[in-house]
Amino acid sequence: MADGLFYPDGSFRKFSPEALTSEIATRANAGGLLDGSYAYFLNLLPDPDPILRKRGDDAFVLEELAADDQVTAAMLGRKERVLRRDDYAITPGSLDGDEPTQTATLLADRLTLDLERTSLHDIISEILDAPFYGMIPLEILWEPTGNWWHIKDIIPRPYYWFAYNADNQLVFKGENYLYSEPLPFGKFVVARHHPTFRNPYGLRLLSRCLWPVAFKRGGIEFYVRFVEKFGIPHTVAKAPSKATAEEKRKIAADLASIVTNAVAVLPAGSEVNFETVSGNPGEIHENFLRRWDKAISKVLSGQTLTLEMEGANSLAASETHADVAEGISLADRRIVTAAFNEICWLYAQINTGERELCPVFSYKEVEDLYKRAELDQKLYAMGVEFTGEHFVNVYKLSEEEFNLKPSSSSAGLLPSNVQSADGEEAVSASFSASPAAPVAQSGVLPRTEKSKPQENAQIKIDEIVRRYVPDLVKSNAGFIKQIENAVKDAESYEELEYLLGTALDGQAEPSEFEDLLGALITSSAAFGVNAVHDELAGEEDA
């Protein structure tokens, strides 16, 4: 192998194979760790969380934040979006287009049986704490049986018992830094939220809620004192002008008793009034507390309205933030998927080595049938006709659960009392639209004797276009021009609907639309009547 590369201009640049296979930008080469804490001397990476470092707190302090009502609601709401999804499965590993081998299928089947003996719901629930605490270590308990290693249990451990060393390896330190050795292979899997080389502990969302919760708690304490002070009406007494100091103290004591028994005996001439604070001075404190609740919801849930709004607008708020919630739910499912796929890889490595592809854990992607129904509706409006198999395959309906409506034919579009070429009355049909104009005698095409319907169809269409379309366009020029402008300006089907409604609302007279529709129906009816008679004539000739 040449120790260099030829470039397109013909130049040759050497490189060192040793340099390509070694690490240069390491913590040791960059100057070591960042502080002189105990973690430094134990070769542990100090927690780089900027908020915790500035306060001098350990990650354990995050446990206390979960006691806040808004934090609890946001955490449970976020986790429940994933926990209610039980459509996950473990499938055998295989390359694209290839069938899984017998050993790969055996791996997936045995791992599935092993995990069925564990509390998967509780395990996934604790994995979903990773976004809040940064990481959740999972300890795997193995049990050998013959020549196979089974998973006996998976136990999530407290995140504050673990740290990372300078090589970004997970280390069990306990609560007093009693250990500092890297953990053995195959024993632990870590679920992490957005880890980086600089911060392998993961991004902790709860640390971003530390100040909002602190300010909120301080505000609530002050707010309680404020309500106690100004929420209860003040009792004000006017003592007689000649009352002594002792009598005034006696009146004050009697007023204080009103708080407990609402009864007081005052000297003659005393006046008692109950004064309340005017306006709404407590609103400023309500806004203060609401400000921090919104900050907590924004950090933990990515939105605020669904947790803050009440009443009739809560549904609208949920729909507004549905996309944000679904995106966060998808990200959380990926954390669960990554953790279990690492368990799958360890399971294959310990039992078969590198000879087989490991099983794959995944959530099934559920199709949104509402969106599919909207798409089918648009396709149907464009002229697509669906079969029963479509509804069976897409919507999982049984054939006994639905019937398809028959397609409308030209005969079903005939208006009432249309006269045929022979003067016979055709079959009548009702319309939900505006009544069509009466059919003029000149609007009926003459029937060609002894001719086949197939040969006359195009002739009749050409005759209709030549005879009636120019007159229709001329008499309805303004109406048609508005439609043409809307079609040219529209960039989508929905925009066309909007432009038509905007352009025609209040501008086109109802009579214009009725005249155009009546003329078109008349021409269509005339063509249909002649087509029916030609078919009958063709059958008689045959």
Q: How far is CA 201 from the centre of its chain?
A: 27
Highest mean pLDDT among 407-416, 443-452, 501-510: 501-510
In this predicted structure, what is the pLDDT of residue 308? 54
User: Which structure tokens are listed for 297?
Assistant: 């919801």
What CA–CA distance (Å, rounded) separates 133 from 465?
A: 74
CA proximity to 219, closest of 112, 123, 291: 291
Mean local confidence (pLDDT), 38-55: 73
Cut 0.75: pTM above it: no
What CA–CA distance (Å, rounded) separates 29 from 307?
A: 48
Residue indicated by tokens 């479509």? 390
User: Which structure tokens are listed for 415?
Assistant: 């208006």
Q: Provide the pLDDT confidence category of residue 519 given band limits of 50, 70 and 90.
A: low
Mean local confidence (pLDDT), 525-539: 65
pLDDT digits (tens, 9 = 90+) for 303-337: 655 555 544 455 555 566 677 888 899 999 999 99
pLDDT digits (tens, 9 = 90+) for 471-487: 666 666 666 777 777 77
User: Which structure tokens are listed for 7?
Assistant: 């470039």
User: Which range, of 62-76, 271-285, 432-446, averages the lowest pLDDT?
Assistant: 432-446
Q: How far is CA 409 from the centre of its chain?
A: 43
Mean pLDDT computed over every residue of the chain: 74
Full DSSP string of 396-433: ---GGG--PPPPP-GGGGPPTT-B-TTSPBPPP---SS
pLDDT digits (tens, 9 = 90+) for 231-257: 566 666 677 767 777 777 777 777 666
Mean local confidence (pLDDT), 410-430: 37
Mean local confidence (pLDDT), 267-271: 62
Q: How far is CA 126 from the centre of its chain?
A: 22
User: Which range, of 68-77, 206-215, 283-292, 409-418, averages the lowest pLDDT?
Assistant: 409-418
Other beta carbons within 10 angstroms of residue 390's beta carbon come to 14
User: Which structure tokens are listed for 35?
Assistant: 């502080």
- Does the pLDDT value for residue 132 go beyond 60? yes
User: Which structure tokens are listed for 216?
Assistant: 């909120």
What are the E-state strand segments in 127-269?
135-145, 148-156, 162-164, 170-172, 188-192, 234-238
pLDDT digits (tens, 9 = 90+) for 134-148: 999 999 999 999 899
Between β-strands 4-6 and 148-156, what pairing exists: parallel, antiparallel or unpaired? unpaired
Q: Hey, which residues does 272 pair with through a beta bridge?
A: 237
Q: Which amino acid is at 457?
A: A
The larger pLDDT score, comparing residue 231 to residue 70, is at 70
Highest mean pLDDT among 226-235, 272-281, 414-423, 524-533: 524-533
Highest mean pLDDT among 47-56, 115-124, 447-456: 115-124
- Does the pLDDT value for residue 1 go beyond 60? no
- Does the pLDDT value for residue 295 go beyond 70? yes
In this predicted structure, what is the pLDDT of residue 443? 38
What CA–CA distance (Å, rounded) separates 245 from 364?
A: 83
Other beta carbons within 10 angstroms of residue 164's beta carbon come to 22
Q: Hey, which residues does 188 pair with through a beta bridge?
A: 139
Highest mean pLDDT among 255-259, 307-311, 348-352, 515-519: 348-352
Q: Where are the alpha helices (DSSP H) in 162-309?
A: 210-230, 245-261, 283-301, 305-308
In this predicted structure, what is the pLDDT of residue 493? 67
Residue indicated by tokens 């679920």? 191
Percent of the chain clearing pLDDT 70 (strictly above):
61
Mean local confidence (pLDDT), 38-53: 72
The larger pLDDT score, comparing residue 445 to residue 453, is at 453
In this predicted structure, what is the pLDDT of residue 111? 96
> Would you call 302 helix, strand, or coil by DSSP?
coil
What CA–CA distance (Å, rounded) separates 232 from 256?
A: 13
Mean local confidence (pLDDT), 448-460: 52
What CA–CA distance (Å, rounded) separates 358 from 355?
A: 9
What CA–CA distance (Å, rounded) separates 489 from 479?
A: 16
> Would you call 450 helix, strand, or coil by DSSP?
coil
Percent of the chain clearing pLDDT 90 (strictly above):
23
Full DSSP string of 490-517: -SSHHHHHHHHHHHHTTTS-HHHHHHHH
Question: Contact, 208 vs 300, CB < 8 A?
Answer: no
User: Which structure tokens are listed for 8?
Assistant: 């397109």
Mean local confidence (pLDDT), 417-444: 38
Other beta carbons within 10 angstroms of residue 328's beta carbon come to 19
> Would you call 282 helix, strand, or coil by DSSP?
coil
